[in-house]
Structure 1
Amino acid sequence: MVTSAGLLLHRRSPVDGIPEVFVAHMGGPFWRRRPRAWSIPKGLVEDGEDALDTARREFAEEIGVPAPTGPVLDLGEVRQASGKRVRVFAARADDFEVDEVRSNTVQVELPRGSGRFVAVPEVDDARWFGIEEARGVLVSGQVVALDRLLAALEGR
């Protein structure tokens, strides 16, 4: 079974104090016009690699800046429709901002079956969303991580 690990940054909105999360829009033509094309920055856990180390590495690769340091909450595993399991960690990042996403690239065959490959960014945008708004844009299998984060923040 494929397992990934991701880092979900959270904060209270500097404007109205509502909980917000920092999520990434998946790059490439497949995701350009699809609903629910936003994701927790994440990636494949390599053999022998610690899941939190993976989450921090992948955040840096996909967003283009190092992940904030500090305490993390382990929100456990979520399962996506594809069957992929994602171990989600959350970190508070009140002062985190990114002017420009500088993601690594991946090779995609376009059009499929053509034998022609092009490099596309793994992530083409990333930003803060209020948790309720994030529910509507996040990959559906990852929405449960928002519920777990809210429960942890409320001390449940």
Structure 2
Amino acid sequence: MAGKFSAGILLFRRNSGDIEVLIGHMGGPFWARKDSGAWSIPKGEYDPEQEDTRAAADREFTEELGLPVPPGAWLPLGEVRYGSGQRAKELTVWAIEADLDPADVVAGTFEMEWPPKSGRMAEFPEIDRVEWFDLASAHDKLGAGQRPYLDRLAQYVAQS
């Protein structure tokens, strides 16, 4: 497949019978004033020829949130492909039932030229905030390519 491979971890918890998921608002100037579709499962790219998918998910969670993956069973939610051509992505996600305090997150950073064509590099957080959302709210906040994982998680929880 042309394109990129990503792996991530979707933390979830049960709160008074509701399922909540932990997602992060994408950092940087392009996402600063956006909300709907501007949140993401903690994830990142990897090379499948050089790294195991689960190891990549673990590494990316730690890089993005600055915290180790909480203990818990890794529940495979499978793969989703979205985009096309060179922009196509294959995302593999696991769910882990665990709690995490968003205040403990120390987001990783990235550099980019900002303002555009200024020749100056600026550093931005990969994720500028992390919050728990019920599944309906998370569905609005996540990018469309990641939304199928919410349905898969709901199905898993309903069967357990």
Q: TM-score, structure 2 length as denominator?
A: 0.89
Q: TM-score, structure 1 length as denominator?
A: 0.91
Measure the CA separation in 1 of the matches of 2:54 and 2:115: 35
Give the RMSD, CA atoms, in angstroms. 1.6
Task: Check whether the contact 1:62–1:123 (CA below 8 A) recurs between aligned residues.
Answer: yes
Q: Which runs of 5+ in 1 are unaligned?
A: none
Measure the CA separation in 2 of the matches of 1:19 and 1:2: 30
Counterpart AA for 1:17? G
Tell me how far 1:96 sits from its aligned partner.
2.4
Structure 2 residue aligned with 1:143, among 120, 133, 147? 147
User: CA-to-partner distance for each residue in 1:103-142, whole Å, 9 max, x for gaps?
Assistant: 1111111122332211111111111100111000011110
Tell me how far 1:98 sits from its aligned partner.
3.1
Counterpart AA for 1:23? I
User: What is aligned with 2:53?
Assistant: 51
Secondary structure in 2 matching 1:31 = coil
Measure the CA separation in 2 of the matches of 1:121 and 1:101: 11
Secondary structure in 2 matching 1:107 = strand
Task: Check whether the contact 1:101–1:124 (CA below 8 A) recurs between aligned residues.
Answer: no
User: What is aligned with 1:27?
Assistant: 27
Aligned length: 153
User: CA-to-partner distance for each residue in 1:3-59, whole Å, 9 max, x for gaps?
Assistant: 00000001111xx32011010111011011123110000011234211111111111
User: What is aligned with 1:38?
Assistant: 39
After the TM superposition, which segments of 4 or more aligned residues of structure 1 sit over 4 Å from their partners? Answer: none
> Kindly, what percent of the aligned residue pairs are identical?
44
Secondary structure in 1 matching 2:119 = coil
Q: Which runs of 5+ in 2 are unaligned?
A: none
User: What is aligned with 1:129?
Assistant: 133
